Amino acid sequence: MEGICEKNNKKVRLSKFESYLLYFFIYAFIGWFFETLYAIYNTGHFVKRGFLFGPICPIYGYGALILLLFLRGYKKNSIKLFFMSALIFSALEYFVSFAMEGAFMSHWWDYTDSFFNLNGRISIAYSFVWGIAAILFINHLHPFIKKQLNKRIIKKIPVNIQSLIIKVIFSIYAVDTVLSWVAHIPGK
């Protein structure tokens, strides 16, 4: 990310960690937003989506980071990107489902009625969606988001303010995570 400001004629940028943290929160929010729209479409009313109280689904933020850190190199090979993403994100979805069920003794999603599913945790249809989503993300969404961030925010807000905002958002996320874990503990 090109978060730049001039300080004593020296360019100052967000650290790579801060940049990736910012992307994590942006894509976790976008994931929550589209999950919520999908739920409204299916049920006709607002349905709280995700594990956390706040408006983010961390699994989408982690998925975006996996794409940016490990799979971005497949940008020019959509077939490899599709299959690698479908495999990796299906495995992630399975693992997260299994871990959350073990920790909280409840199902957060269930694909039992979906064609070609594995223990109701993943299905071939969603594996296909993850592959297509990865191609769209790497080739279109992320370049657009990055350009808009740089153009509209990064160049206009001093880096120290950007860094402070990221720290505040991270602190809220950390508190939300702890409170959500406590609220979902079985027997409470």
Residues 10-43: tens digit of each pLDDT: 556 889 999 999 999 999 999 999 999 999 999 9
**Does the pLDDT of residue 135 top 90, yes or no?**
yes
Q: Using H for helix, E for strand and C for coil, what is the string for the chain? A: CCCEEEECCEEEECCHHHHHHHHHHHHHHHHHHHHHHHHHHHHCCCCCCCCCCCCCCHHHHHHHHHHHHHHHHHCCCHHHHHHHHHHHHHHHHHHHHHHHHHHHCCCCCCCCCCCCEECCCEEHHHHHHHHHHHHHHHHHHHHHHHHHHHHHHHCCCCHHHHHHHHHHHHHHHHHHHHHHHHHHCCCC
> For 62-112, how does the pLDDT look when each residue is reduced to its tens digit (9 = 90+)?
999 999 999 999 999 999 999 999 999 999 999 999 888 888 887 777 888
Q: What is the pLDDT of residue 74?
A: 93
Largest Cα span, the chain? 62
Task: Enter the pTM of the model.
Answer: 0.86
**Does the pLDDT of residue 188 top 90, yes or no?**
no
Residue type, position 9, single letter: N
Q: What is the pLDDT of residue 5?
A: 46
Query: 6-10, 44-48, 148-152: which range is least confident on average?
Result: 6-10
**Does the pLDDT of residue 9 top 50, yes or no?**
no
**Does the pLDDT of residue 7 top 70, yes or no?**
no
Rounded Cα gap, residues 65 and 72, in angstroms? 10
Mean pLDDT of the chain, nearest integer: 89
